[in-house]
């Protein structure tokens, strides 16, 4: 069974600094047995990044719909794992107001980081929390998962205006604001007519990221992980998509010469 100190040592071995901004997509099951379980995993990251910013997704896209359209950040559970649900309830952690793609943040400037998400009208809009990962030279840790869970690539596609990514019409959501008032927000949802899950195509970029040294394989507990540089992921994805803007959907494989 892994102890908290052993996990913190593994974080250091990845090359993560205590002052970094780190975004984590996670699978608790992949980590293996930990003394103290999921809480110890969170403790290890929160303590290690004492001078940085730790961010986890607290998405609700699987819960929210036209019939269930009231988003209360204090009550609505996350649909992306046990660590995210525990994290957002911890002291000092704040949760953003995006009705389908919220994040929770702990550490330096966390309140400032999540500001304005109630104004974003797409899942990972320009100027929102995912776009801000570039501004902070953030690292993205895919902990026991692959790039099909790398939501930042959705943001890259939005910035590059990749077509056929959203519903034809937005959905009306009602956001419970900090003062208890309700803010109505019209938000487009992810949709593509040929694939049910757009993000499943993102694994086609994995080798491109490795070849350009913007991602590397690391370990955390038993989990095989991928540590990414957000700005590097953006630039490599931009380079690949410059050859054919919708190639991740339209092509079975991406030609290697597109990223070399």
Percentage of the chain surpassing pLDDT 70? 100
How confident is the model at residue 169, as a pLDDT? 97
Task: Considering only residues 181 and 196, tell me which one the structure prediction assigns the higher pLDDT.
Answer: 181
Band (pLDDT 50/70/90 cuts) for residue 157 is very high
Is the pLDDT reported for residue 132 higher than 90?
A: yes
Looking at residue 220, what is its pLDDT?
A: 98
Q: What is the percentage of the chain residues whose pLDDT exceeds 90?
A: 100
What local confidence, expressed as pLDDT, does residue 196 receive? 86
With a cut of 90, say whether residue 256 has pLDDT above it.
yes
Does an H or E element contain 14, and which? helix 4-14
- pLDDT of residue 144 exceeding 90: yes
Q: What is the structure's pLDDT at 58?
A: 98
Q: What's the rounded mean pLDDT across residues 18-38?
A: 98
Which of the four pLDDT bands, split at 50, 70 and 90, describes residue 124?
very high
pLDDT at 202 over 90: yes
Cα 237 to the center of its chain, rounded Å: 16
Cα-based distances in Å from 11 to 137, 141, 143, 144, 246: 18, 10, 11, 14, 35
Per-residue pLDDT band at 125 (split at 50, 70, 90): very high
Phi and psi at residue 66, to the nearest 5°: -65, -30
Whole-model pTM: value is 0.97
d(CA 211, CA 68): 43
- Rounded mean pLDDT, 231-248: 98
Q: What is the rounded CA–CA span in Å between residue 82 and residue 62?
A: 15
Identify the pLDDT of residue 130: 98
Order of all β-strands in the sheet with 182-187: 70-71, 171-176, 182-187
Mean pLDDT of 127-153: 98
């Amino acid at each position: 069974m892994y102890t908290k100190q052993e996990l913190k040592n593994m974080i250091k071995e990845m090359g993560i600094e205590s002052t970094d901004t780190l975004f984590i997509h996670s699978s608790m099951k992949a980590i293996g047995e930990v003394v103290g379980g999921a809480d110890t995993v969170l403790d290890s990251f929160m303590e290690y990044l004492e001078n940085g910013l730790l961010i986890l997704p607290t998405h609700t896209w699987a819960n929210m719909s036209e019939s269930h359209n009231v988003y209360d950040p204090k009550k609505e559970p996350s649909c992306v794992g046990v660590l995210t649900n525990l994290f957002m309830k911890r002291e000092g952690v704040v949760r953003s107001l995006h009705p389908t793609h919220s994040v929770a943040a702990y550490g330096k400037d966390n309140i400032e980081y999540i500001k304005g998400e109630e104004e974003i009208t797409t899942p990972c809009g320009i100027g929102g929390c995912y776009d801000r990962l570039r501004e902070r030279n953030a690292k993205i840790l895919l902990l026991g998962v692959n790039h099909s869970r790398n939501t930042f690539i959705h943001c890259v596609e939005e910035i590059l205006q990749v077509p056929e990514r959203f519903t034809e019409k937005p959905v009306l959501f009602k956001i419970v604001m900090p003062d208890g008032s309700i803010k109505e927000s019209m938000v487009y949802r992810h949709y593509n007519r040929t694939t049910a899950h757009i993000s499943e195509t993102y694994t086609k970029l994995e080798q491109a990221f490795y070849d350009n040294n913007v991602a590397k394989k690391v370990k955390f507990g038993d989990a095989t992980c991928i540590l990414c540089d957000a700005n590097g992921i953006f630039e490599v994805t931009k380079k690949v998509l410059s050859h054919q803007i919708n190639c991740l959907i339209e092509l079975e494989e991406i030609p290697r010469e597109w990223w070399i």
